[in-house]
């Protein structure tokens, strides 16, 4: 039986508990799941929380960003996504890209996800921005691993995903050993939790969180942002540095900015949804300006988490973001 996350676990602790309950119409569930799955998700909140909590080395999660972009590739099925994932908040630091194909498996009575890896993964990087990179893609251009399918069932307001125990076996290119991959997932309208992990046939750890805590990714939204800096040593805007056309997502998205002074100044503009859980739980949308390389902000401002506009004016810098 698959290992799953109950609704209570989703809202409190990351423990995989119950088996999936039977859903209603799988076609309706598939339609709903495709709507929820589409978009971008990021675990920036989890990442900064663990840094501030100074948790021990066996617990940390990488900062990951996942892009799930629907594409028209009939050879792979009717519900197909190009997937690209990067780490450390850097869109150029890509660690995985895939083709995901969803279908209904009548025998299992679940939604099936079949995953395809690219034989030439670099050739299609950025396909969510330029779909022509996928033109002419065939089954000869990808690989799939039988037994590594993920199955999904709806459970209340969640979709629960799992791999059958021990079914996904891959020979490591590094060690030559067979590793056994397992995965438990939860998808809601605004979050996806990913609990992937692996061990070898002797039960030795290969990857994944050692405490079984999943990556907790929240849906991100893109904002159009801009900034203006006065010339160094001046309080006048004329002749300053103007930057427009920036796109930042609200889960820790950032952009580096270099001023046009004779001795350029280096800054970073950052946008993030944050949850501060002190005496009271406070959710905000925060914009901050940093000297590049310094984790402590020069200044920041905040607004309601669902705000469509946010900005600041520091006299030497002003900038803002508008939700796309």
The better pLDDT of the pair 55, 68 is held by 68
Whole-number Å distance between alpha carbons of 16 and 91: 31
* Domain-embedded: residue 131: yes
Helical ranges in 20-80 per DSSP H:
26-37, 44-53
- Whether residue 315 sits in one domain with residue 189: no
pLDDT digits (tens, 9 = 90+) for 119-176: 999 999 999 999 999 999 999 999 999 999 999 999 999 999 999 999 999 987 777 8
Q: Which domain holds residue 303?
A: 222-323
Tell me: do 50 and 182 sit in the same domain. yes
Does the residue 2 lie in any domain? Answer: no
pLDDT of residue 174: 75
- Of 168, 197, 219, the residue that ends a domain is 219
CA distances from 113 to 1, 25, 147, 197 (A): 17, 17, 11, 18
Q: Tell me: do 234 and 212 sit in the same domain.
A: no
| Tokens 């066996």 sit on residue | 58
Query: Are both 197 and 260 inside the same structural domain?
Result: no
Domain annotation covers residue 1: no
Q: Kindly state whether residues 267 and 242 are assigned to the same domain.
A: yes
Whether 201 and 238 map to the same domain: the answer is no
CA 25/CA 90 separation, integer angstroms: 40
pLDDT in tens, 205-225: 888 888 889 999 999 999 999
pLDDT at 321 over 70: yes
Q: Is residue 175 part of a domain?
A: yes
Task: Quickly state the pLDDT bin for 59 (edges 50, 70, 90).
Answer: low
Same-domain pairing of 296 and 254 = yes
Pair (133, 157) in one structural domain: yes
Counting the structural domains of the chain, the total is 2
CATH label of the domain that carries residue 126 = 2.40.128.590
Domain boundary among 219, 244, 268: 219
Q: Which of 26, 17, 195, 7 is nearest to 108 (CA)?
A: 26
Phi, psi torsion values for 195, nearest 5 degrees = -115, 55
pLDDT for 323 beyond 80? yes
Non-local (6+) Cβ contacts of 123 within 8 A are: 133
The per-residue pLDDT for 274 is 93
Global pTM? Answer: 0.88
pLDDT above 70: percentage of residues in the chain: 92
CA 234 to chain centroid, in Å, comes to 40
Residue 169 lies in a domain: yes
**In this structure, are residues 63 and 85 in contact, taking their beta carbons and an 8 Å threshold?**
no
Please check whether residues 166 and 306 belong to one and the same domain.
Answer: no
| Same domain assignment for residues 259 and 168 | no
219, 246, 261: which is the final residue of a domain? 219
Share of the chain above pLDDT 90, in %: 77
pLDDT at 57: 62
Closest CA to 154 of 90, 110, 94: 110
Buried b (16+ CB within 10 A) or exposed e, 209-241: beeebbbbbbbbbbbebbbbbbbeeeeeeeebb
Q: Are 257 and 243 in contact (CB under 8 A)?
A: yes
What is the tens place of the pLDDT at every residue in 265-287? 999 999 999 998 777 889 999 99
Residue 71 lies in a domain: yes
């Amino acid at each position: 039986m698959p290992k799953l996350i109950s609704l209570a676990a989703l809202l409190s602790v990351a423990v995989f508990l119950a088996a999936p309950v039977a859903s209603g119409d799988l076609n309706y569930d598939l339609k709903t799941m495709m709507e929820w799955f589409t978009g971008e998700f990021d675990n920036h909140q989890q990442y900064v929380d663990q840094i501030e909590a100074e948790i021990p080395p066996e617990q940390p999660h990488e900062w990951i960003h996942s892009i799930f972009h629907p594409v028209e590739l009939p050879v792979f099925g009717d519900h197909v996504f190009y997937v690209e994932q990067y780490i450390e908040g850097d869109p150029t630091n890509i660690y995985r890209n895939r083709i995901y194909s969803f279908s209904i498996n009548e025998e299992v009575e679940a939604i099936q996800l079949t995953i395809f890896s690219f034989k030439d993964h670099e050739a299609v990087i950025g396909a969510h921005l330029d779909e022509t990179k996928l033109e002419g893609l065939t089954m000869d251009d990808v690989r799939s691993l039988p037994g590594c399918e993920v199955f999904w069932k709806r459970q209340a307001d969640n979709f629960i995903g799992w791999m059958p125990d021990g079914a996904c076996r891959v020979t490591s290119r590094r060690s030559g050993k067979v590793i056994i991959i397992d995965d438990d997932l939860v998808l809601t309208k605004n979050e996806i939790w990913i609990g992937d992990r692996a061990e070898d046939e002797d039960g030795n750890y290969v990857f994944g969180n050692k405490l079984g805590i999943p990556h907790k990714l929240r849906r991100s939204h893109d904002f159009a942002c801009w900034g203006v800096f006065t010339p160094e040593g001046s309080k006048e805007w004329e002749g300053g540095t103007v930057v427009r056309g920036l796109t930042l997502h609200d889960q820790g998205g950032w952009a580096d900015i270099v001023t046009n002074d004779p001795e350029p100044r280096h800054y970073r503009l950052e946008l993030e949804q944050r949850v501060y859980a002190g005496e009271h739980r406070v959710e905000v949308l925060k914009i901050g300006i940093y000297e590049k390389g310094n984790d402590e902000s020069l200044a920041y401002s905040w607004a309601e988490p669902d705000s469509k506009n946010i900005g600041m004016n520091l006299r030497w810098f002003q900038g803002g973001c508008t939700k796309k």
